[in-house]
Amino acid sequence: MEDIPDDESWRDWFQHYGPKLLLCARQWTRSLADAEDVVQEAFVRFWRHQRKLGGEPQALLFTSVRRAATDLARRNARRSAREERAEGGRELLEPVFEIPQEGDDRRSDIETALRGLPPEQREVLVLKIWGELTFEQIATQLRIPPNTAASRYRYALAALREALSAADCHG
């Protein structure tokens, strides 16, 4: 990834990487609207203050998205708990992927399998596949050894394979 040269290129850069950032943000937020807010906040923060930092810009931006999602979760924790108690339940989970109608069953199986992963594995999987980050970059972001990132990725893939095979057998 080359350096981002000027203020005029932000639209192109955001258009290219925005969907990946949004998918990653969905792993750390409760709704699509929250994920969109997180991506916007993170991108503005990145563009104004962090893009001149050393390092790979895409990895810096994914870190910014993760931090913005964490900040949002902290801000909303008390309010959400109070609303859930008042409503007697949790909000419906919005789909992570947009797939044509004929793929609804498979999408549902994939989303169920993804949500069934431990958060640490799901986070590494999303950063690796949709974020296109290396294990080194993931390790830096999550403050874990690269081998741990690689192990979590392997375990996540194995768990997904097993969950999807089980869904195929029962479906």
* Architecture category of domain 96-171 in CATH: Orthogonal Bundle (1.10)
Angle at 44 between CA 119 and CA 93, to 5 degrees: 35
What is the per-residue pLDDT for 103? 56
Query: For residue range 112-166, what is the model confidence (pLDDT) as tens digits?
Result: 888 888 989 988 988 888 888 899 988 988 889 999 999 999 999 999 899 888 8
Whole-angstrom distance, CA of residue 43 vs CA of residue 17: 10
Query: For residue range 101-115, what is the model confidence (pLDDT) as tens digits?
Result: 555 677 778 888 888
Is the per-residue pLDDT at 46 higher than 90? no
Two structure tokens written together for 159: 């768990």
What is the per-residue pLDDT for 119? 86
Q: Where in the chain is the domain with CATH 1.10.1740?
A: 7-94
Please state, as a whole number, how many other Cβ atoms lie within 10 Å of the Cβ of residue 1: 11
pTM over 0.75: no
CATH code matching the domain that covers 7-94, chosen among 1.10.4100, 1.10.1740, 1.10.620, 3.40.50? 1.10.1740
Q: Where in the chain is the domain with CATH 1.10.10.10?
A: 96-171
Whole-angstrom distance, CA of residue 46 vs CA of residue 53: 10
Angle at 55 between CA 49 and CA 57, to 5 degrees: 60
Is the per-residue pLDDT at 18 higher than 80? yes
Two structure tokens written together for 75: 């801000």
Contact between 43 and 2 (Cβ < 8 Å): no
